[in-house]
């Protein structure tokens, strides 16, 4: 939702962080996503987290694929470089970037289509490489930008806006991430700032690969026809016109619930999602238990949220590759070039 | 029976089973000749499998310096493979020499009587000398090298020295190898009139030369040019390029004190990922590359379009093999020219460089990183299997210690501070190349969004037609800049004034001398031009315009180089005569000359037949 | 002030915010004119986003039948979007009509005084009439259609009928829609002198015509041609093609009794997989297709090479959009011509078909499956966004019930039994096309191994150069066969004898009449040729040879069609004059004519200015 | 190993199956793999299984990617059509083929490079689609055909023939397969015919997606330098020459051990692998237990073999898509073409 100009005035009373910056310094350009889109809440979560961590925005590199979710890096940290690459390939671009300069903070934004379909291979392999980054999937179970096809994370049996019920098993990204060796794995809900912001902060601070699967309702396309809600003129209109050309302005879906409790979130179409927050005394350091826990809740149709697994002593790609502490991109001729004399000896070895 | 008589001018073929250790022995043979100062060009024809199938190694010895492949027929065959024996016997020129293992009786008369049969009971000698069956097999190869030393009158000390230097790291392997050599030498000396009528003679023609393959030379170039990030996915024939990079980086780029590596090599999960990593690393300011072959290029197509449009430097080594599809993975072609030049959908265009020998490969590899950064676009170095995987006699590699890496137009924090407003895609200099910044440069200035979508000069997303046109027309301008920045073609004037020209890229250079000589023998004079880069330098146009007819040599079926020339420069196709060779074997001078003469309507009474 | 006066010959632009339901209303407007028998061409310019950004819908009304885009300036604007208001006001021709929501006061004088301002308090009416905010927004669109009906003197019954038929399935939606229409109609009638000086008048020019988009027409073609397997990955602007296929397949291909589906549609995980499934299905004897756009083509490149070399039928619809890379995903171009024609590394070449209107798209889609099977190779149907996603007036679709699907050369068990020895790649008929068998055909005969590597005529893996050459030369022969099998070009002779020709593909056909008329007004006569397929039919060569100069119209920066013509047919580039248009908007006749005249050295004093 | 001509005589006493065919009728052309390569044992396992199941060879379709493993379909069932496609993409080709003709038996052959690296996305998605096929990975932890690079299934810490120890976590294909919804998941060892053949038979008979991860030692490249074996001239030679140009003829590695027991298999280079066979009373129908079991054994460094998980009532892609019982490729004009009359009504709907 974008045609209202962003207010330009700065409130002198806005709180400042250690760097003397206000939250405004963490903003990007105005979002062009649909009103109420969960992705916008993730953007503000990231701004909030970076603000609270007192990270200088320009030391962050934002990398994404293609999709509504992948557009979001434009909408936060305007003083950071961003790279909106190609569909499903954010992980490899992020890997290259990180390898070139280990000193920046890397945030990778992706969608469930971007990650679980076209990008699944890259997702798994960036995990295996233990890249030091925060990888966020704005998970809405659908392909927002191409207008609502089912994604591979959509629950089996879900009713999408168009077409028949989803007949395929869904891919559980957090389970996959833990299985493949991610050392920080969390799930959250875009509308739950209380939970999301601290998770983002912890993930950014984590050394190694940090993954947040953030459920982020697509207010426009997902889970539509499954609704049992009463008559809606708009819906019928769209159905009859055989095209989705009217998209009502929606409110952001939010929730707030305590650790160890569960929350039922109503989506705009009337369907309900059961979120279950991990108890406060949950120890996320045991991988086998984490996986077990997930499986049990999945079977119950409950979506477990919180920090599911963490290895606080994780290493990262640079540790494994033993790359120099000075970022590779800072190395100069004298560091890199063996020189003419050495070349003579190389020549000699080939003669 | 005629017997071939030749000194320092012949071809010997080793026919082996792959996986039997013959490669080292054959290389020992070739390198010994190299060390004797004789021009030599060894060529490996190997199968796409690991063990048990026929493999051939042709060594051309040519005091004249003809280093291209001569043709299908050879002067001597070392026929070690029962599977291919018949075919190998057939490949011998009349009067040639057939060296074989005579342990088991072979009725030589059954095959051919117009050749010389030289039987050495290799297996028998091995049974006698070695207990371990593996040693028997391995030393068999060394024994035939020893026998050849006697038969061809090679300098035995040179071979021994070579063994000593090769096994420097494992001294105890030296004596048994020398012993094996002597076994062969002695047997041949005792049982045959040595030398044969075909033999070698020490010369002094390899001064300041090295024997090296193009992949290794490229890798050394990448090390020297400060490449720090290599990401790749294994594929023949490009694998050895990255392996060589790793070897030299491990040797010269590890901090002795801390053990820290001043490079990172990542084996990606596929070629898409490999290219993505290069793009990410280059975007972030490192010098990065990948290497692949045809199928990998196809998989990188989408990413190459992104890098072109988003203007990210990329260095990609495409070591070409036989296509299409998996094609002939262990054969050579130059058939990715079009798929690389126009890689990706939409109006995409890529910079190509064409190295033609190892020294050139070293220089071009090193320069490629400068070009990519200066032009902010992918640069594809077009090698082929012939150059990449075979040892070539080459000039020594050279480096100027005063050379600085050119990172192109990159603004730092101070420069940004001086700017009113920074525009990532503002063509400040009018050359189509705009200024970039690295992530993390400045707290408030210079950040921008890189994307594969259309945008305005300030990198802001735009769907306006005029912004789009403005941007892509600038890219066209950038390519014009590139044409004059990239290496010029090399022009070889004929000895007499010539109305015809011949144009080629890459390894075809190897047959240039022989081709010119053959043509001159028939009184035909042709100027030659070796093109080194695409987009084409204005000299390319000049050369072609200056000649009435120009032959374009293509190592592919579809005349891709010719196509590119016509497309880009609007030459009249009628003027560009196509010479094509595409069976997967390196091209011979004779093939080219025959096609040229037939195009010129000259009947073929030359020495082509004698030589082919 | 001059006021534009026009009957059935004008352009009206709807400027909306996307996601506000305007698309249905605007379509209602256009279709009403269509039903009134007036030639009309609606065109959607939408952003690459879902909600909240500017979107435009241009409706050209032209009794002369000019259906191409006219130009940037329009005669009337329905300005519903505050974001783009200024720009929209500017886009109006002097004397044009600016229709706006006057609920809030707008100081019209601040903008322009040379146009007519027509304010209707749309929001006010809605506030009054509807409680539900969503209904307010939706009906606002219908209200302005009602107002336009009065202002332009549209046939109100036609609109009502249309609403009735559109909401057939939801009868209760009919009365409120008609009521909204009437609200607008009444307000306009009461407050303005209706009709305006710009208006419509019923005609009878759309007999036996339909209003349909090219993607839908293609999809119906695929259903009729017996396509059973569709695998795809969503991407604009190709998505609606597969969605339409699904819709019609669900309607006509489900067994009423058993509920069994006589088709399978699989949403793949990416484009590589989509193409892999098509290849697997075609290999196994089904008629299969996929649809994508540029980035998808790039990702399918490796597989396209496999299908070319292994000779597997493939039908691929490439609905082209603005490139390179993600480019302009919601704009139109014909810029994948080269990347498709030469898709994949090595000497790969692909068959292209170029539909130019919906009826043609239907026919070509249906034929594509026959061609792919007959030629055993990929066939790429080159649509573009302009054709694929806009409604066009088209001839009715036709089908001959006697038509049989051509599966090409496929041997069954009985035929195999009669053969001495079956050779998958034996060119029995001399046309380069060999016989295949489906898996499972015969217990002992006809099985072979399909591979992307080189092989002999019996499909046995081979690394022999001669086998390779034999095979790829046959593929060249097959392409020669293809050239004469594929649809011929369509030639339009000028009214007077012409020395110049003009050549184009696809949707450029839409401006052909207007272009010819404009040229004729200046006494310029040009023959035109619409090319329908690559490789080019011999008639293409004939046409070009017959003309002194030939203009080649390219909807891309790099003159890709021209390149392809020169490459493949060796025309002298000097003779082929390039006309290019590539800003993402559909090309206009005026643009083409201006470029032609400037190439011919004719000064531009035509009516171009008046119209642009 | 190939330069010995295959004996052509047929032994009249060879046992015949229900179709009256002997094992010879299930052979393909002569293998060109290295002597002793585990992959050849898988080929003979497939021949044996198809023979015992009395499957008519021509009703099988063999599909593969690229690699030594992917070459094997040429070496079995010579009367069946085969398709050696491109690297990592066998699953999509198999999917298309299966969708076109549900009546054939589909065997997909792949390698660990082919499946776990370039093909990981396709692997996971063919599982999600429940394709009715047998998918075999000849798993050797290396890229055989490109001469011995580490693959993504290579155990962390393994010592490859060239280069440093493998620093990356390995992907466990059976765990992945179960997680992603495969309904028949087994692991075996190429040299253990007693176990492998019955598994292949069961997998072929299974309706739905059947996966066998078959450990298949690359006698040439894998696990070489880790050896503690005594002096080997060949090895030193190769090391010094800096190229692998001598590949000794090796014997096939075989083993035989009872259910519930474990077996230590020595590889040619002297390294040892611990195989643990599932107990006879193991119930493979419980997914959660299967995963748990796997994790526990992985942690112990033991490779669990046998039928790990099966859902005997699985459905397949055709069930989900409700495709016609008659194979799609058999449908003719009358089944597929709605005809001219219907087209008039379609035309009408657009006018
Ligand atoms: C290679 C390629 N294929 C297809 C597309 C079209 N496309 C754009 S976004 C998208 C899906 C986005 O889904 P997701 O990642 O879930 O993001 P969301 O919009 O739901 O946030 C697709 C298929 C593309 N841009 N590139
Ligand atoms: C696109 C592409 N990239 C790379 C290759 C080169 N290549 C051939 S086989 C192979 C790996 C094979 O490994 P695996 O699947 O484990 O089979 P193995 O040989 O070990 O049985 C590679 C990388 C290729 N053929 N195609
Ligand atoms: S379509 Fe869905 S995902 Fe995309 S911006 Fe709108 S609400 Fe968000
Ligand atoms: S290289 Fe390894 S996998 Fe390949 S054939 Fe030889 S032993 Fe088997
Ligand atoms: Mg999504
Ligand atoms: Mg392997």
pLDDT in tens, B403-427: 999 999 999 999 999 999 999 999 9
Pairs of residues, one from chain C and one from chain D, whose beta carbons lie less than 8 Å apart: 226
Q: What 3-state DSSP class applies to B55?
A: strand
Residue A88 lies in a domain: yes
Smallest CA–CA distance from B301 into chain A, residue: A86
Residue D152 lies in a domain: yes
On the 0-12 / 13-18 / 19+ scale of CB atoms within 10 A, C306 is buried
**Locate tokens 């962080």: which residue?**
A17
pLDDT value of position A229: 36
Give chains near A: 3+ CB pairs under 8 A: B, C, D
The mean predicted confidence, pLDDT, of chain B is 95
Closest CA to B293 of B366, B250, B242: B242
User: Tokens at residue B407, please?
Assistant: 């990172």
Dist. CA B548–CA C436, nearest whole Å:
47
Dist. CA C548–CA C538, nearest whole Å:
18
Give residue C52's region: left, alpha or beta (phi > 0; psi -120 to 50). left
Residue D248 lies in a domain: yes
Give chains near C: 3+ CB pairs under 8 A: A, B, D
DSSP-assigned letters across all residues of C459-509: S-B---HHHHHHHHHHHHHHHHHHHHHSPPPEEE--SS--SEEEEEEGGGG
Cβ–ligand 4 contact at D107 (below 6 Å): no
Interface of A with B in 110-149 (CB under 8 A): 121-122, 124-125, 129
Spell out where B110-237 has E strands.
116-120, 198-199, 209-213, 229-232
For ligand 2, atom 9, the nearest C-alpha belongs to: D67
- In chain C, CATH 3.40.50.970 covers 212-395
Q: What CATH number should be reported for the domain holding residue A59?
A: 3.40.50.970
Q: Calculate mean pLDDT across residues D62-86.
A: 98
Cis peptide before C535 (omega within 30 of 0): yes
Does residue B304 surpass a pLDDT of 60?
A: yes
The sign of the torsion formed by the CA atoms of C161, C165, C166, C168 equals positive
pLDDT value of position C5: 97
- Provide the shortest C-alpha distance from residue C476 to chain B (in Å): 9
Q: How far is CA D10 from CA A171, B516, D7, D58, in A?
A: 51, 60, 9, 20
Cβ atoms C334, C554 nearer than 8 A = yes
Which regions of chain C are under pLDDT 50? 606-612
Q: Calculate mean pLDDT across residues D15-38.
A: 95
Q: Looking at this predicted complex, what is its ipTM?
A: 0.96
**Locate tokens 């035989």: which residue?**
D256
Does residue D61 surpass a pLDDT of 70?
A: yes
Please tell me the total number of residues recorded for chain B in this structure: 612
Dist. CA B221–CA A349, nearest whole Å:
16
pLDDT in tens, C465-474: 999 999 999 9
Question: With an 8 Å Cβ cutoff, are C322 and B454 in contact?
Answer: yes
Q: Where do the H-state alpha helices sit in B311-399?
A: 337-341, 358-375, 385-389
* pLDDT band at residue D230 under the 50/70/90 scheme: very low
- Measured between beta carbons, the chain D residues lying within 8 angstroms of B81 are 3
User: Tokens at residue C223, please?
Assistant: 């259903």
> Rounded to the nearest 5°, which phi and psi values hold at B317?
-95, 120
Question: With an 8 Å Cβ cutoff, are D147 and B239 in contact?
Answer: yes
Dist. CA A280–CA A306, nearest whole Å:
10
Domain count, chain D: 1
Question: With an 8 Å Cβ cutoff, are A86 and C269 in contact?
Answer: no
pLDDT value of position A241: 66
On the 0-12 / 13-18 / 19+ scale of CB atoms within 10 A, B457 is middle
CA angle D341, D342, D346 (to 5 degrees): 120
Q: How far is CA B306 from CA A47, A181, C39, D209, in A?
A: 28, 30, 41, 37
C293 Cβ neighbours under 8 A, 6+ residues apart: C235, C236, C237, C238, C318, C319, C320, C321, C329
Longest distance between any two alpha carbons in chain D, whole Å: 85
Domain at C212-395: CATH architecture: 3-Layer(aba) Sandwich (3.40)
Ligand 2: centre distance to CA D65 (Å): 8
- Measured between beta carbons, the chain D residues lying within 8 angstroms of C367 are none
Q: Calculate mean pLDDT across residues D20-37.
A: 95
Ligand 4: centre distance to CA D39 (Å): 8
The shortest CB-CB distance from B138 to any of D145, D234, D243 is to: D234
Interface of A with C in 151-170 (CB under 8 A): 152, 162-163
B557 Cβ neighbours under 8 A, 6+ residues apart: B335, B580, B582, C347, C472, C473, C476
Cβ–ligand 4 contact at D33 (below 6 Å): yes
pLDDT value of position B612: 34
Assign a CATH topology to domain C490-611: Rossmann fold (3.40.50)
Question: With an 8 Å Cβ cutoff, are C295 and A87 in contact?
Answer: yes
Question: With an 8 Å Cβ cutoff, are D118 and B82 in contact?
Answer: no
pLDDT in tens, B176-199: 999 999 999 999 999 999 999 999
* pLDDT band at residue D3 under the 50/70/90 scheme: very low
What Rg value do the Cα atoms of chain C yield, rounded?
Answer: 27
Cβ atoms A34, C51 nearer than 8 A = yes
B489 Cβ neighbours under 8 A, 6+ residues apart: B529, B530, B531, B532, B536, B537, B539, B540, B543
pLDDT in tens, D245-298: 777 778 888 888 888 888 888 777 667 778 888 888 899 999 988 998 898 888
Interface of C with B in 542-601 (CB under 8 A): 556-558, 560, 563, 566-567, 570-574, 582-585
Dist. CA C571–CA C562, nearest whole Å:
10
Residue A279 lies in a domain: yes
pLDDT in tens, C386-410: 999 999 999 999 999 999 999 999 9
Nearest ligand to the C-alpha atom of residue D36: 4
Q: Calculate mean pLDDT across residues D150-159.
A: 84
User: Tokens at residue A247, please?
Assistant: 């998209």
Q: What 3-state DSSP class applies to A132?
A: coil
Dist. CA D172–CA C486, nearest whole Å:
50
Q: Calculate mean pLDDT across residues B227-241.
A: 98
Cβ atoms C587, C581 nearer than 8 A = yes
What is the mean pLDDT for each group of 10 consecutive residues in chain A (351 residues)?
46 89 96 94 97 97 98 97 98 98 98 98 98 97 93 81 76 96 96 95 96 93 50 64 72 85 78 83 90 87 92 94 97 98 97 92
Beta bridge partners of B292: B318
Domain at C6-199: CATH architecture: 3-Layer(aba) Sandwich (3.40)
- Provide the shortest C-alpha distance from residue C47 to chain B (in Å): 7
Residue D96 lies in a domain: yes
Does residue D23 surpass a pLDDT of 90?
A: yes
Cβ–ligand 1 contact at A140 (below 6 Å): yes
The shortest CB-CB distance from B229 to any of A99, A125, A338 is to: A99
- Provide the shortest C-alpha distance from residue C349 to chain A (in Å): 26
Cβ–ligand 4 contact at D140 (below 6 Å): yes
Cβ atoms B309, C329 nearer than 8 A = no
Mutation target for D interface from B50, B174, B245, B274: give the one with most D CBs within 10 A: B50
- In chain B, CATH 3.40.920.10 covers 6-199
Cβ atoms B63, B39 nearer than 8 A = yes
Beta bridge partners of C450: D83
**Locate tokens 């009474």: which residue?**
B605
A180 interfaces chain D, CB cutoff of 8 Å: yes
Cβ–ligand 4 contact at D220 (below 6 Å): yes
Give exposure, A86-108, as e/b (b: 16+ Cβ within 10 Å): bbbbbbbbbbbbbbbbbebbbbb
Smallest CA–CA distance from B454 into chain A, residue: A84
The parent domain of residue D189 ranges over 23-321
pLDDT value of position D226: 47
Residue D71 lies in a domain: yes
Smallest CA–CA distance from C459 into chain D, residue: D82
- Provide the shortest C-alpha distance from residue C50 to chain A (in Å): 7
H/E stretch holding C368: helix C358-375
- Measured between beta carbons, the chain C residues lying within 8 angstroms of D99 are 229, 264, 266, 277, 280-281, 286
The shortest CB-CB distance from B270 to any of D117, D150, D240 is to: D117
pLDDT value of position A9: 57
pLDDT in tens, B116-148: 999 999 999 999 999 888 888 889 999 999 999
Spell out where B452-573 has E strands.
490-492, 500-505, 526-531, 533-534, 549-554
Dist. CA A49–CA A53, nearest whole Å:
6
Rounded (10°) angle between helices C271-283 and D120-128: 70
pLDDT in tens, B29-65: 999 999 999 999 999 999 998 889 999 999 999 999 9
Dist. CA A174–CA B391, nearest whole Å:
51
Q: How far is CA B392 from CA B69, B362, B395, B549, C24, in A?
A: 12, 13, 10, 32, 69
């Amino acid at each position: 939702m974008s045609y209202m100009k962003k207010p330009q005035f700065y409130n002198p009373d806005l709180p400042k962080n250690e760097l003397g910056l206000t939250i405004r310094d963490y903003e990007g350009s105005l979002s062009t996503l649909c009103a109420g889109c969960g992705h916008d809440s993730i953007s503000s979560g990231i701004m909030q987290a970076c603000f609270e961590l007192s990270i200088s925005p320009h030391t962050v590199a934002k990398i994404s694929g293609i999709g509504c979710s992948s557009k979001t890096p434009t909408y936060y940290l305007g003083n950071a470089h961003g790279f909106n690459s190609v569909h499903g390939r954010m992980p490899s671009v992020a890997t290259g970037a990180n390898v070139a300069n280990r000193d920046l903070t890397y945030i990778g934004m992706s969608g469930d289509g971007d990650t679980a379909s076209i990008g699944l291979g890259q997702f798994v392999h960036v995990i295996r490489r233990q890249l030091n980054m925060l990888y966020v999937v704005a998970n809405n179970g659908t392909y927002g930008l191409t207008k609502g096809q089912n994604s591979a994370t959509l629950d089996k049996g879900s009713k999408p806006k168009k077409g028949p019920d989803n007949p395929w098993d869904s891919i559980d990204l957090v389970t996959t991430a833990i299985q493949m060796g991610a050392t920080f794995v969390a799930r959250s809900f875009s509308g739950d700032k209380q939970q999301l912001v601290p998770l983002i902060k912890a993930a950014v601070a984590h050394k190694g690969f940090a993954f947040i699967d953030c459920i982020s309702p697509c207010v426009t396309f997902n889970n539509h026809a499954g609704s049992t809600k009463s008559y809606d003129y708009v819906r019928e209109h769209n159905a009859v016109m055989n095209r989705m050309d009217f998209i009502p302005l929606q409110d952001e879906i939010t929730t707030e619930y305590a650790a160890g409790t569960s929350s039922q979130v109503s989506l705009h179409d009337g369907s309900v999602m059961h979120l279950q927050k991990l108890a406060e005394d949950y120890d996320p350091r045991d991988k086998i238990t984490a996986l077990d826990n997930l499986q049990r809740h999945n079977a119950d149709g409950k979506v477990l949220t919180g920090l599911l697994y963490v290895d606080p002593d994780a290493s990262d790609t640079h540790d494994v590759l033993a790359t120099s502490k000075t970022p590779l991109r800072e190395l100069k001729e004298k560091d890199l070039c063996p020189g003419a004399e050495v070349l003579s000896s190389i020549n000699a070895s080939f003669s | 029976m005629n017997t071939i008589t030749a000194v320092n001018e012949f071809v010997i073929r080793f026919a082996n089973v792959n996986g039997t250790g013959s490669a080292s022995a054959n290389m020992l043979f070739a390198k010994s000749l190299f060390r004797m100062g004789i021009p030599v060009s060894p060529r490996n024809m190997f199968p796409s499998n690991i063990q048990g199938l026929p493999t051939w190694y042709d060594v051309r010895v040519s005091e004249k310096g003809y280093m291209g492949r001569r043709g299908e027929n050879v002067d001597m065959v070392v026929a070690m493979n029962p599977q291919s024996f018949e075919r190998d016997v057939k490949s011998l020129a009349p009067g040639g020499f057939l060296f074989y293992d005579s342990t088991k009786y072979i009725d030589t008369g059954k095959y051919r009587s117009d050749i010389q049969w030289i039987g050495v009971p290799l297996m028998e000698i091995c049974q006698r000398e070695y207990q371990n069956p593996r040693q028997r097999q391995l030393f068999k190869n060394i024994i035939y090298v020893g026998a050849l030393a006697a038969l061809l009158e090679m300098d035995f000390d040179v071979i021994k020295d070579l063994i000593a230097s090769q096994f420097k790291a494992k001294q105890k392997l030296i004596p048994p190898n020398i012993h094996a050599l002597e076994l062969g030498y002695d047997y041949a000396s005792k049982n045959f009139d040595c030398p044969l009528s075909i033999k070698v003679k020490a010369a002094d023609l390899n001064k300041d030369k090295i024997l090296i393959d193009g992949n290794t030379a490229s890798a050394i170039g990448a090390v020297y040019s400060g490449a720090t990030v290599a990401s790749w996915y294994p594929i023949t024939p490009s694998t050895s390029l990255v392996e060589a990079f790793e070897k030299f980086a491990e040797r010269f780029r590890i901090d002795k004190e801390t053990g820290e590596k001043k490079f990172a090599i990542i084996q990606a999960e596929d070629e898409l990922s490999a290219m993505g990593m290069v793009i990410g690393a280059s975007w972030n300011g490192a010098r990065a590359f990948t290497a692949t072959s045809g199928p990998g290029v196809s998989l990188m197509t989408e990413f190459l379009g992104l890098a072109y449009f988003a203007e990210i430097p990329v260095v990609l080594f495409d070591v070409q093999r036989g296509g299409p599809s998996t094609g002939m993975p262990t054969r050579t072609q130059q058939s990715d020219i079009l798929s690389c030049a126009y890689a990706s959908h939409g109006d995409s265009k890529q910079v190509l460089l064409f190295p033609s020998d190892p020294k050139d490969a070293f220089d071009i590899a090193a320069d490629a990183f400068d070009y990519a950064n200066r032009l902010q676009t992918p640069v594809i170095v077009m090698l082929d299997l012939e150059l990449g995987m075979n040892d070539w006699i080459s000039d020594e590699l050279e480096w100027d210690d005063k050379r600085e890496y050119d990172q192109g137009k990159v603004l730092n924090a101070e420069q940004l501070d001086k700017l009113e407003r920074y525009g990532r895609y503002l063509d400040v200099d009018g050359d189509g190349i705009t200024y970039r910044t690295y992530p993390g440069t400045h707290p408030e200035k210079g950040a921008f969004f890189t994307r594969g979508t259309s945008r305005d000069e300030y990198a802001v997303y735009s769907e306006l037609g005029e912004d789009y046109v403005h941007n892509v027309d600038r890219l066209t301008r950038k390519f014009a800049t590139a044409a004059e920045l990239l290496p010029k073609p090399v022009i070889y004037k004929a000895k007499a004034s010539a109305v015809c020209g011949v144009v080629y890229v890459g390894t075809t250079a190897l047959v240039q001398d022989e081709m010119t000589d053959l043509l001159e023998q028939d009184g035909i004079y042709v100027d030659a031009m070796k093109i080194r880069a695409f987009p084409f330098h204005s000299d390319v146009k000049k050369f072609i315009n200056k000649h009435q007819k120009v032959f374009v040599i293509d190592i592919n079926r579809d005349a891709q180089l010719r196509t590119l020339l016509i497309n880009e420069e609007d030459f009249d196709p009628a003027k560009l005569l196509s010479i094509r060779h595409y069976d997967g074997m390196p091209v011979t001078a004779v093939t080219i000359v025959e096609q040229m003469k037939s195009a010129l309507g000259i009947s073929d009474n030359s020495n082509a037949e004698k030589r082919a």
